[in-house]
A = this chain, B = another copy of it.
Amino acid sequence: MPTIKDIAKQLGVSVSTVSRALNNHPDIREETKQEVLEAMKRFNYTPNAVARSLIQRKSNTVGLMIPDITDPFFSAMAHDVEEVLSENGYQVVYVNTSRRPDKEKRFLTSVMERKMDGIIVTPDFLDEEAIELLQRLDIPVVFLRRRPPAGLGMPFVDVNHYEGTCNAMDYLFSLGHRRIGFIGMPRYSFTGQERYRGYVDSLNRQGIEPDSKAISWNGRTIECGYKAMGRLLQDAPDMTAVFAANDLLGIGALEYSARHHIAVPGRISVIGFDNLEMTNLHWIKLSTVAQPRKEMGRQAAELLLQMMQSNQRTADSIILDTELIIRSTCSPVNGPDDNKE
């Protein structure tokens, strides 16, 4: 591989001149520049970005740390993150943490050693050590779908889980429902907590006491939703609707109902959260709350870009709105279906 030196030698000019042509610096005669450029082409010269990074203290790479690229949410975000960043000359190195604390830390260390210019992170564990690493990095970082620890002053971009849930609940209220069950994901999940908060507050605002027998914490899968629906129907038989904290759980609830000949939305209404593609399947048509997932990736990347350009460590966070998607799994209490009985 020829270097800048080889080109210089061939042309009998100095490396400075070659460098100036390469970076189209103004201090070079147009003719000289053309000659150099031509020679570069002739010798198949490719600039060495590593050498350039070393001296410029800028690697033009950003890190993306997510729990699992296999999750449609994160892959959608990763897609847009890459798109806007690569358009701006950055390469993105990504890592799946698999929600393992050691891998999160390993990544942060790597960010430091590789001299990355900025990172977008969705951490699940932030102990003191990780927080300290994050600070020592001294580069722009934006949190995606997570809140940064107070005091770090780093921005985040996320959806308004709380409000999205309130909207879903209000929709259910507008249909006349009062006894509404909750099928949640694991208790420790951040998004799960936010959605639960929305559920409880909505109930309270209607003067309804949350009923612990109508609340179930589970995993995140269809099977979990299936089982939870069974339990809830038994423990709180007066329930007329169910809010599932994510679509997989909601689909599980639907499946339980289908297998046990429980009419949805006749006997019970079901609403989900996420708007996964499959919720729009002909057999499902789950009403749910949509999140602008691609938008999120784009916003995070643009925010980071802005911080890198202005060399700032802090910025305003971005909270995106959700959208209520009404399909076929909710109906009024005592509605047409009920009358048929």
Residues of A within 8 A of B (CB): 44, 46-51, 53-54, 59, 61, 68-70, 72, 75-76, 78-79, 82-83, 86, 91-96, 98, 103, 106, 109-110, 112-115, 136, 222, 251, 255, 258-259, 278, 281-284
Q: List 12 A-B contacts (CB under 8 A).
A: A46-B109, A48-B113, A49-B110, A51-B54, A61-B93, A83-B96, A86-B106, A91-B114, A92-B94, A222-B281, A259-B282, A278-B281
- The complex places the Cα of A46 from the Cα of B114 at a distance, in Å, of 10
**What are the residues of chain B within 8 A of A258 when measuring CB–CB?**
282-283
Cα of A92 to Cα of B66 in the assembled complex, Å: 13
A49-B113 in contact (CB<8A): yes
6 nearest A-B residue pairs (beta carbon): A283-B283, A49-B113, A75-B75, A255-B282, A93-B93, A278-B278
Known: A46-B112, A50-B53, A114-B50. A68 touches B79 (CB 8 A): yes
In the complex, which of the residues B46, B75, B96, B282 contacts A113, with contact meaning CB atoms closer than 8 Å? Answer: B46
In the bound complex, residues from chain B placing their C-beta under 8 Å from that of A91 are 93, 95, 110, 114
Which of A50, A115, A255, A259 counts the most B-chain CB atoms under 10 A from its CB?
A50
Q: Which B residues are in CB contact (< 8 Å) with A96?
A: 79, 82-83
Report which of B70, B283, B284 forms a contact with A79, defined as CB distance below 8 A: B70
Which of A70, A255, A278 counts the most chain B CB atoms within 10 A? A70
Tell me whether A44 and B113 are in contact in the complex, defined as CB-CB below 8 angstroms, given that A69-B79, A94-B92 are known contacts.
Answer: no
Picked from B48, B94, B106, B112, the residue with its CB within 8 Å of the CB of A82 is: B94
